[in-house]
Amino acid sequence: MYSILIVSDDNSVNNLFKKSLNGDYVIYYAKSHEDALQLLFNKDIDITFLDVLLENDGATKLLEKFKQINIEPTVVLVIPESLPMLSDDALKIGAYELLEKPLTHDAIQHASKRALEKQSLKKELGFIHSHIKNIQPANKITELSEPGINRQPTTSEIYLKYKEVFQKFSKVLARVHDLGKLADLTVEAMSEIFGVGKAVFVLVYKKEGLSRPYRYLGIDEAVAKKISFNNNESIMLWLAKNYQILTKDVIEREVASNKLSIREAINIQREINILQASLCIPVLAYGNLSSMITLGNKITGKVFFDEDIELLSMLAGYIGMAVENAFLYREANLRKIQNENILENIPCGVIAINSNGRINAFNKNAAKMLSISSHDILGKDVKHIGSLFTDIILRTLKDKKTYEMREVTHPTTHAVYSVSTSLLDAGGELGAIMIFSDISEIRKLQLSLSAVRELESKVKNLENRNTSSGISHELSNILVTQSD
């Protein structure tokens, strides 16, 4: 079970965290930064929620203390919504994420899950980084007479270990579906593994025909935001055509073999210099250039060796697959949002269940008609919606019996509903959906209209009888008069 530390001197904050997370995590509480440090030293804490309004600047002191004693807990800062200026400062001093007051149950749970994911990735990256250090060849030349890529002797054992490390890294990447987080992880990992001071993740924007820095380390933010490359020119065009890592030596060889003109080489080198890069790595998704990763010089002053280039090629393949997954996830997420918006705006109640009878869709009109909160029902057994609707939708799922505009009456409220059902096939998994609307008012109107028509008919019949009676009386009078 994961453990969480709540650092706050506000009892209401502590109580809300307790209600939101109790039972799922081991929770510790600290009302001062001294107490928090004591717990961090003695307990294995996964996430620390730090109230920025801790008395006497305790939050800032605690984050500074973390740096001094060289510990890096995953910190989520709790800040007031009324003080947005704290957001940038909070992130600069080491917070992973921000959680705004007033706090909610959902926000706390979601922040906890995201922070745990970050913590897990940090641990796995730490493993990768330490493993890389342990398997560096002992016979690398530390000083070279000229810059470039120099082949050093390696062994099959080294490559097997490198392969193991990058397989581990690929598993880490596979778990990251958000493109922003993937890019953050990539530049962070590249910087640590290869010991470079600058790393840039450049994203290709196909519709705009441009490529821009998406995430970066060691580059001034104001400068990075101004950088933009044409996809059909210079560095991006070369990478899209050649699918290989680009270095200064490669440019010189291309010029020498007349594959590049001097003007083209100058333009490519100018863009490399803008990114303050030593080499550029193409990342492919769906067989096309999707992004580029650039690395600056090594902090040690050493050059990139052939082993580095081979490792970067392998890593670029893993990153490319992760980028594909991120694109697919983003597309699926957009479709999901669109479907949810459509679902919420349908003027009918909609309930969908999976093959296990668990509710995976329950729109606001269903919640309104059945007086059940979506938050309380999603993911739960369909029996929670009441026996009337449970029976109908389960018949559809299990007996393949569908309904079309069937009228049913609620046994308790006596509301009348028009119900239709259908089977769903979501990725090979069979489910069922029910669409229903409350037609009670319509039925009342129909009954009223029927009553009015019946009354009109009676009045008409009565008038007809009165008219016939009047005519008979007149005829009698005429006959009597004539006889006299």
Identify whether the C-beta of residue 25 lies closer than 8 Å to the C-beta of residue 3. yes
Average pLDDT, the chain: 79
Each as own residue / partner, the long-range contacts of residues 56-59 (CB below 8 Å, 24 or more positions apart, any chain) are: 58/7, 58/9, 58/32, 58/33, 59/7, 59/33
- The pLDDT of residue 141 is 37
Burial code (b: 16+ CB inside 10 Å, e: under 16) for 57-81 equals ebbbbbbeebeeeeeebbbbbbbee
- Find the mean pLDDT for residues 20-42: 83
- The pLDDT of residue 480 is 56
Residues counted in the chain = 484
- The pLDDT of residue 55 is 55
pLDDT above 50 (res 302): yes
| Phi, psi (deg, nearest 5) at residue 244 | -140, 160
pLDDT in tens, 448-460: 777 777 777 777 7
pLDDT in tens, 170-218: 666 667 778 888 888 888 888 887 889 999 999 999 999 999 999 999 9
CA distance 96 to 73: 9
CA distance 56 to 58: 5
Close Cβ partners of 78 (under 8 Å, ≥ 6 residues apart): 8, 13, 49, 50, 51, 52, 98, 99, 100, 101, 103
- Find the mean pLDDT for residues 19-43: 83
- Find the mean pLDDT for residues 162-169: 62
- 171-330 and 346-438 agree in CATH topology: yes
pLDDT in tens, 352-411: 998 889 998 898 899 888 888 887 888 889 998 988 899 999 999 988 889 988 899 988
Local confidence band at 484 (pLDDT 50, 70, 90 cut-offs): low
Q: Among 83-87, 98-102, 177-181, 340-344, name the one with the lowest average pLDDT.
A: 83-87
CATH node for 346-438: 3.30.450.20
- The pLDDT of residue 241 is 93
Local confidence band at 305 (pLDDT 50, 70, 90 cut-offs): confident
3-117 topology per CATH = Rossmann fold (3.40.50)
Domain ranges within the chain, ordered by starting residue: 3-117, 171-330, 346-438
Local confidence band at 155 (pLDDT 50, 70, 90 cut-offs): very low
Close Cβ partners of 259 (under 8 Å, ≥ 6 residues apart): none
- Find the mean pLDDT for residues 288-304: 91
Q: Name beta bridge partners: 350.
A: 435
Tokens of 304: 């990139």
Does the model's pTM come out above 0.75? no
- The pLDDT of residue 417 is 92
Range 171-330: architecture per CATH = 2-Layer Sandwich (3.30)
- The pLDDT of residue 107 is 86
Query: In three state form, how does the secondary structure of the chain look?
Result: CCEEEEECCCHHHHHHHHHHHECCEEEEEECCHHHHHHHHHHCCCCEEEEECCCHHHHHHHHHHHHHHCCCCCEEEEEEECCCCCHHHHHHHCCCCEEEEECCCHHHHHHHHHHHHHHHHHHHHHHHHHHHHHHCCCCCCCCCCCCCCCCCCCCCHHHHHHHHHHHHHHHHHHHCCCCHHHHHHHHHHHHHHHHCECCEEEEEEECCCCEEEEEEEECCCHHHHHHCCEECCCHHHHHHHHHCCCEEHHHHHHHHHCCCCCHHHHHHHHHHHHHCCCCEEEEEEECCEEEEEEEECCECCCCCCCHHHHHHHHHHHHHHHHHHHHHHHHHHHHHHHHHHHHHHHHCCCEEEEECCCCEEEEECHHHHHHHCCCHHHHCCCEHHHHCHHHHHHHHHHHHHCCCCCCEEEECCCCCCEEEEEEEEEEECCEEEEEEEEEECHHHHHHHHHHHHHHHHHHHHHHHHHHHHHHHHHHHHHHHHHHHHC
- The pLDDT of residue 396 is 92
pLDDT in tens, 422-477: 998 765 678 899 999 998 888 888 777 777 777 777 777 776 766 655 555 555 55
Percent of the chain's residues with pLDDT above 90? 20
Identify whether the C-beta of residue 278 lies closer than 8 Å to the C-beta of residue 295. yes
pLDDT above 90 (res 289): yes
